[in-house]
Amino acid sequence: MSEIFDIAIIGSGIAGAGLAAMLGDKANILLLEAESAPGYHATGRSAAFWSETYGGPAVQPLTSATGPKLKAGGFLSPRGIAHVADKDGLEALKQLQDNFADTSVVLTPLDRKDIEATGGRLKEGWDLGLKEGSCEDIDVGALHAHFLSIAQKSGTHLKTYNRVTGLKRLDGYWQIKTTRDEFKAKRVVNAAGAWASEVAALAGALPIVITPYRRTMIQLQVSPTPPAEMPLIMDALTRFYFKPEDGNRIWLTPHDEHAQAPADVAPEEIDIALAIDRFSKAADWKIEKVERCWAGLRSFSPDRAPVYGADPLAEGFFWCAGQGGFGIQTSVAGSMLAACLLLGEELPDWMAEVDPTRYRPDRFR
C-alpha cells in the first residue's frame, strides 16, 4: 500500500477503537488488528460494569469523567455495588472508605437487612458492607461497535488479520510489517492490550512491563432466581464478586489474577472450583448448573495505572496501554486523553479532574 497514514493504531479493542473514534477525521488513521474481528480479546470478555472505586484512586478520575458520557450515549443501566465483608474483611471495608474519602465517590454503610432488601442472599457472618449506588452495567458490545462505527465513518481504515510483526523508523516514518502486508505511518500507537510490551520491543521503545493477568468468569444458573435489580456483590477482600444476569443466572468470578504470557486464554478448572467454593461459603443460592466459563487477560503497568503518552525513546511511538481491569469504564476519557495528547490539544472541560501528566510513560524511565 503506497498511502502514508498519519497514525497507525495497533490493536482494535476498546482502547484502539475508542482512540480512532476520538481522533475522528482529524487524522488519516490505520487501525491494525491481529485477529479476524475487533474485540476478540479482553474487550469481548469483560464483566461489563462501571464502578468509580474499581481500579483505585489513580484510575477514578478517568472512570468518573467517562460515566456521564456513557450515560448520555445510552450505554449504561443501573446496577449498584454492595461491598460486603465477613469478619476478616472489616479492615478492608474501612480501607475502601478511607481511599475515597477525599473524592466525589459516595459510599454509604450497609447492614445485613439492607443487603437482603436488595435480594442479596448472604450467609451468616456477612453482616456489614458499603453501598456504591453509582455503579452501572455497560453494554460493552454496543459501545465498542459505536466507537468502530464513528471511526470508520470518519475514514479510519480497519485492517483485520494483520498482526504487526515489525516496526522500523526510517526517514521520519514508521515502516510497519504485518503478517499480510506492509504500511507506512508518521506515528504508531501501541493499543495492543496484553501484547503491548511485545509491540514496544519491536519499536525499540521504553521497555515498560505490561503484565497480562488471567481472570476467570463463570455463568451459573441458580435458585431461587436473583432479582434483576440486585446489586453486584463484591467481597471487600476481593476474593469474589458476582452479579445477576438474564433469568436465573449469575456471573461470578474468584477475582483471580494469574500472570502469564499474552495468549488466547481459557479458564482453568482450579479457578472454577475456587469460585464455586467461595460463592458457596458466602452466598445462599443453590447452584443448578455451571452454564459457561471464560477467561480474559487484564494487563497492568507496574503501578497499575494506564499508560498514555509519547514514548521518550522511540520517536513517533505513542502508548495507549495498561488499561487493566478498567479499560471499558475509562474508555471515553482515556481515549480522549490519548487523542488530545496526540493532537497537541487541551483536554475538554468535562475532564477537569484528569491530570494528563499522571499517566505518562516516562514515569517508568
Ligand X SMILES: Cc1cc2nc3c(=O)[nH]c(=O)nc-3n(C[C@H](O)[C@H](O)[C@H](O)COP(=O)(O)OP(=O)(O)OC[C@H]3O[C@@H](n4cnc5c(N)ncnc54)[C@H](O)[C@@H]3O)c2cc1C
296 touching ligand X, by CB under 6 A: yes
User: In this complex, which beta carbon is closest to ligand X, that of residue 131 or of residue 298?
Assistant: 298
For 82, 128, 204, 322, the CA distances from 112, given in Å and listed in that order, are 11, 6, 55, 37
Q: Residues 275, 298, 305, 361: which binds ligand X (CB under 6 A)?
A: 298
Show contacts with ligand X in window 202-241 (CB under 6 A). Answer: 215, 217
Rounded to whole angstroms, the Cα distance separating 242 from 234 reads: 7
Q: How many residues bind ligand X (CB under 6 A)?
A: 40
The values of phi and psi at residue 29, to 5°, are: -115, 140
Show contacts with ligand X in window 25-54 (CB under 6 A). Answer: 32-35, 40-43, 45-49
Q: What would the DSSP string read from start to end of 94-115?
A: HHHHHHTTTSS---EEEEHHHH
The values of phi and psi at residue 14, to 5°, are: -65, -30
12 touching ligand X, by CB under 6 A: yes
User: In this complex, which beta carbon is closest to ligand X, that of residue 189 or of residue 282?
Assistant: 189
User: In this complex, which beta carbon is closest to ligand X, that of residue 63 or of residue 86?
Assistant: 63
Shortest Cβ 87–ligand X spacing (Å): 28
Q: Residues 83, 329, 338, 347: which binds ligand X (CB under 6 A)?
A: 329
Q: Residues 126, 147, 174, 195: which binds ligand X (CB under 6 A)?
A: 195
Rounded to whole angstroms, the Cα distance separating 20 from 338 reads: 10
Q: Which of 47, 38, 14 is nearest to 294 (CA)?
A: 47
Half-sphere exposure of 314 (CA within 13 A, CB side): 27
CB atoms within 10 A of CB 120: 23
User: In this complex, which beta carbon is closest to ligand X, that of residue 28 or of residue 46?
Assistant: 46
User: In this complex, which beta carbon is closest to ligand X, that of residue 28 or of residue 197?
Assistant: 197
User: In this complex, which beta carbon is closest to ligand X, that of residue 128 or of residue 320?
Assistant: 320
What is residue 224's DSSP assignment?
A: S
Helix or strand or coil: residue 18?
helix
13 touching ligand X, by CB under 6 A: yes
Residues that bind ligand X (CB under 6 A): 10-16, 32-35, 40-43, 45-49, 163-164, 191-195, 199, 215, 217, 296-298, 323-329
